[in-house]
Structure 1
Amino acid sequence: MNKNLVLLFFTAFVLSNCAFAKAQQSDSLQLRKIYDAALTQGHSYQWLDYLSNQIGSRLSGSSGAEKAVAWTKAQLDSIGLDKVWLQPVMVPKWVRGTPEFAYIETGIGETTQVPICALGGSVATPNGGIKAGVVEVMGIKELQALGEEKVKGKIVFFNRPMQDELIETFRAYGGCVDQRYAGAMEAAKLGAVGVVVRSVTHSIDDYPHTGSMSYGDLPANKRIPAAAISTKGANLLSTLLALNPDTKFAYSMFCKNYPDVQSYNVIGEITGSEYPNRYMVVGGHLDSWDLGDGSHDDGAGVVQSMEVLRLMKVIGYKPKHSIRVVLFMNEENGLRGGRAYAESVKRKNEKHVFALESDAGGFTPRGFSFDSDDRNFNQVLSWKPLFAPYLIHYFAQGGSGADIGPLKDVSEGVVLAGLRPDSQRYFDHHHAANDTFDAVNKRELELGAATMTSLIYMMDNYIVKPARLIQGPIKD
């Protein structure tokens, strides 16, 4: 009896390993097909060319955003998806207006012009602009420690740079972006007349980098104009203040906030062959800031996400789950699109099991970060040998993406992930006029699309369902 049991267990073990090896071989071949198709038959680069060079910037509420909605829907219609539709969402409308102007008063009758841009959502300067003395600080806490006496009537200059020693550039960004977002609100509380913020980039150049900012609950008559200054301009201003603390700064901005307008998320779907009512999402944000054409942020993520579904069609893969591409509107200055999609999921009681976002540029893919339960993350780690031939090595627990984040609140157990390309050059272009098509490499963009498609394929076949979905039959 004991010998028979040993033989039985041994046979089962061998068969199990054979099945596992066969499955891995099949998956390996499928990933190879995906990468081959992306690199030899890809559409992502030509799509990005049109989105960037023919449509251009796509700030929420702008004509560019409206054109992008119509064009991306038409492209999704053309690749033969099962469903394509627009999801209405109300978005803010902010217009930059006439280009900004700024200078440092270096002496009596002597000025040096420096590049600035208004932060998104800022109010304009009064007619004739603002000229005042400057208080330089390295952050909000330092500002608050100065108190009203030293700040009132002054322009506050936030000059904390990104930390160059941090290898993960998104950590460096997160370490100083608070002064851009909340600096004007805090300075206004102490009587400042304006705010100038060092651009959030490692580069030392003449490009000012815009971005979102907030006044919180400050009344309209207490709000002060907020601008970003280029890093070269910031270094010059800091040097001149060290030489002469009475140095004056002057700037003019002409931006304006308008009432909300209607826009849309663009959604396409391949309906699942086995689980049509369980959804996986891949997406990026369709809007962009208005200085460049938004090629890296986030045109790359948009076309890569579209390409995921197209590649599935090209290789003849029929997903088990329903796979949706969602092109979110208004990530940059409101996250309205991401919230609208999540609200729709909650209202329809849709089961979302996985979502992947690309919003870190179109550079060489390195891997993914996951907001996941341990079971699914351990499953992902077992796939590393399949991704190794494509030099995809980074698999870590962490954040995912801003637009898919709200799904956590409406889909219990949903696994979230973000594509992680090499990030060393991303903030050279982020929110600046040099975020343009010529800064994107065709092969890197295509490799990102292939890597995303490969992860969706693996998740479609092997995702571990949340307990609430496996404790009984599911009617799909």
Structure 2
Amino acid sequence: MKINFKKACFGILFISICNLSIAQKVNTEDSLMLRNLYDMALLNGNSYDWLDTLSNKIGGRLSGSVEAEQAVRFTKEELEKLGFDKVWLQPVMVPKWTRGFKEYAFIESGEGEETVTTDICALGGSVATSEIGLKAEVIEVQGIEDLERYGRDQIEGKIVFYNRPMKANLIHTFEAYGGCVDQRYAGAMEAAKFGAVGVIVRSMNLKNDDFPHTGSMTYGDTPIKDRIPACAISTNGADYLSSTLKIQPDLQFYFKQSCKVYPDVQSHNVIAEITGSQYPNKYMVVGGHLDSWDLGDGSHDDGAGCVQSMEVLRLLKLTNYKPKHSIRVVLFMNEENGLRGGTEYAEQAKLKNEQHVFALESDSGGFTPRGFSFDTNEANFKQVLSWKALFKPYLIHYFEMGGSGADIGPLKDDNIVLAGLRPDSQRYFDYHHAASDTFDAVNKRELELGAATMASLVYLFDKYGTKTSLDPVKN
């Protein structure tokens, strides 16, 4: 058989041009879609107005509080206005802890000689001091591991002062946070074993200021009668206390707090869904946590993530995009001091045999988006990397394997892609769990860029699907 090489070469060239045209068409379609999502978020976004209401009209939304329930009602009503296919509340039992009257503390150097007031706040879940407060000598340690070194002889009857700072030379601030947060979470439980009567913890903050930062803590299985009160001290206060201790090791520290733990109460996750056109029984989730600490109004942690997640569904609906999979926004309750909402959602999904293929969480503040981290297999991650050029015009460059989010973590299995939005984190811990976490700390444009970035990733995963590790990777 004779081969006409001229015709064969022309045929190969024609096929190559056709394939290139198809690839360019797909890329152009995706580029236009992303451009549309960013345009709508920046020119006609709802996220900032929603956050204004959550922050300024409702305020801090501690689990079990009246404000938390007001936030549930508000977000449900707003989602219903958008005309999604389904909107509902998912009941979940949550812990209830109240701060009580504002805490008070002072440092007393010399018996009655001089007192200097300092800024503290009770740690979430702490017991109260007595009605007259607690005053004792202080022993400074650099972490839980130091307790063994000092032993009961030096600790008993004293207040343990955990003063390990976040490492300022770590560029990834969440790594710095992770390096010292154990002293906040388990510090009281461990100090009580050595006879300590109270705990002071340096705030998890890279900035020197007068804002104490609260956060969750645990007593483990410590009997109630043996539980000791725990508070956080501002970074400025911690530095002052530490320097004064060097001069006067026998100084006295006084603090009073009136917090209280109540029985669990019922609250809700807020859920809305756009039902998939091709795979209605395969679910994609985008969400944040609706509860916050009570010191500020929870704008960055995590009001921002909630309104961005709501905006994702609104943007997709406004583009008239018909998702293949069912896409849900889930506003989780009780991430801060129990993770009950995320756990309940995953348990209910399992009971109903719901197949979740993708979940994205925003819980790192409303700052400028930089990209995403992924908990997935290599095939899915390679697919993500093939989309980098689509995000480049929006200065989104960070695509790394790593963690995703606390609330979507319970959904993890071998078949789901978990992702976390990664904004610039350098300022996040200035506000995290502090009275400074307020609406005025959130930049409207940065918040809206984050929402558009999330919507773009959801769109791409919905369009192209997820891959098993055996699937071929198409770049």
Q: Please state which band the TM-score falls in when normalised by the shorter chain.
A: over 0.9
Residue 42 (structure 2) aligns with: 39
Q: Which residue, 452, 455, 465 being the options, matches 1:453?
A: 455
Q: How far apart, in 1, do the equivalents of 2:180 and 2:148 lie?
A: 16
Tell me by how many angstroms 1:76 deviates.
Answer: 0.2
State yes or no: 1:346 paired with 2:357: no
State yes or no: 1:16 paired with 2:12: no
**1:52-451 equivalent positions in 2, closer than 5 A:** 52-109=55-112, 110-409=114-413, 412-451=414-453
**Kept after mapping to 1: 8 A contact 2:123/2:230:** yes
Q: How far apart, in 2, do the equivalents of 1:225 and 1:301 lie?
A: 32
Q: Deviations over 1:265-297 (max 9, x none)?
A: 000000011111111000000000000000000
Q: How far apart, in 1, do the equivalents of 2:287 and 2:105 lie?
A: 38
Q: How far apart, in 1, do the equivalents of 2:11 and 2:222 lie?
A: 74
Q: Deviations over 1:105-148 (max 9, x none)?
A: 02332100000000000000122111111110000111122111
Q: How far apart, in 2, do the equivalents of 1:227 and 1:124 lie?
A: 10
> Amino acid of the residue matched to residue 242 of structure 1?
K
Tell me by how many angstroms 1:10 deviates.
Answer: 5.1
> Amino acid of the residue matched to residue 459 of structure 1?
F
> Amino acid of the residue matched to residue 415 of structure 1?
V
> Amino acid of the residue matched to residue 233 of structure 1?
G
Q: What SS does the aligned partner of 1:76 have?
A: helix
Q: What SS does the aligned partner of 2:228 have?
A: coil
Tell me by how many angstroms 1:9 deviates.
Answer: 5.4
Q: How far apart, in 1, do the equivalents of 2:41 and 2:79 lie?
A: 17
Q: How far apart, in 1, do the equivalents of 2:432 and 2:227 lie?
A: 26
Q: Deviations over 1:280-325 (max 9, x none)?
A: 0000000000000000000000000000001111111111111000
Q: How far apart, in 1, do the equivalents of 2:167 and 2:462 lie?
A: 39
> Amino acid of the residue matched to residue 95 of structure 1?
T
Q: How far apart, in 2, do the equivalents of 1:26 and 1:316 lie?
A: 14
**TM-score (norm. length: structure 2):** 0.96
Q: How far apart, in 1, do the equivalents of 2:470 and 2:267 lie?
A: 35
Q: Which runs of 4+ in 1 moved over 3 A?
A: 1-14, 465-470
Q: How far apart, in 1, do the equivalents of 2:131 and 2:77 lie?
A: 44
**TM-score (norm. length: structure 1):** 0.96
Q: Deviations over 1:373-422 (max 9, x none)?
A: 1001000001111000001010000000000000014xx31000000001
Tell me by how many angstroms 1:23 deviates.
Answer: 0.1
Q: How far apart, in 2, do the equivalents of 1:214 and 1:43 lie?
A: 38
Q: What SS does the aligned partner of 2:466 have?
A: coil
Tell me by how many angstroms 1:11 deviates.
Answer: 4.5
> Amino acid of the residue matched to residue 196 of structure 1?
I
> Amino acid of the residue matched to residue 231 of structure 1?
T
Q: Which residue, 30, 38, 57 being the options, matches 2:33?
A: 30
Tell me by how many angstroms 1:469 deviates.
Answer: 11
Tell me by how many angstroms 1:6 deviates.
Answer: 6.6
> Amino acid of the residue matched to residue 41 of structure 1?
N
Q: How far apart, in 1, do the equivalents of 2:384 and 2:441 lie?
A: 32
Number of residue pairs matched by the alignment: 468
**Kept after mapping to 2: 8 A contact 1:376/1:463:** no
Q: How far apart, in 1, do the equivalents of 2:291 and 2:95 lie?
A: 12
**Kept after mapping to 2: 8 A contact 1:353/1:465:** no
Q: How far apart, in 2, do the equivalents of 1:61 and 1:41 lie?
A: 34
Tell me by how many angstroms 1:26 deviates.
Answer: 0.5
> Amino acid of the residue matched to residue 18 of structure 1?
S
Q: What SS does the aligned partner of 2:216 have?
A: coil
Q: What SS does the aligned partner of 2:419 have?
A: strand
Q: Which residue, 461, 464, 467 being the options, matches 1:462?
A: 464
**Kept after mapping to 2: 8 A contact 1:288/1:298:** yes
Residue 473 (structure 1) aligns with: none
Q: How far apart, in 2, do the equivalents of 1:227 and 1:8 lie?
A: 76
Q: How far apart, in 1, do the equivalents of 2:71 and 2:465 lie?
A: 33
Q: How far apart, in 2, do the equivalents of 1:207 and 1:375 lie?
A: 45
Q: What SS does the aligned partner of 1:147 have?
A: helix
> Amino acid of the residue matched to residue 48 of structure 1?
L
Q: How far apart, in 2, do the equivalents of 1:98 and 1:262 lie?
A: 24
Question: Bigger CA drift: 1-10 or 220-229?
Answer: 1-10
Q: How far apart, in 1, do the equivalents of 2:137 and 2:282 lie?
A: 59
**Kept after mapping to 2: 8 A contact 1:183/1:195:** yes
Identity %: 68
Evaluate the alpha carbon distance shift between residue 6 and residue 188 of structure 1 in structure 2; reply closer, same or farther with a 3 A threshold: farther
> What 5-or-longer segments of structure 1 have no aligned partner?
471-476
> What 5-or-longer segments of structure 2 have no aligned partner?
none
Tell me by how many angstroms 1:465 deviates.
Answer: 3.6
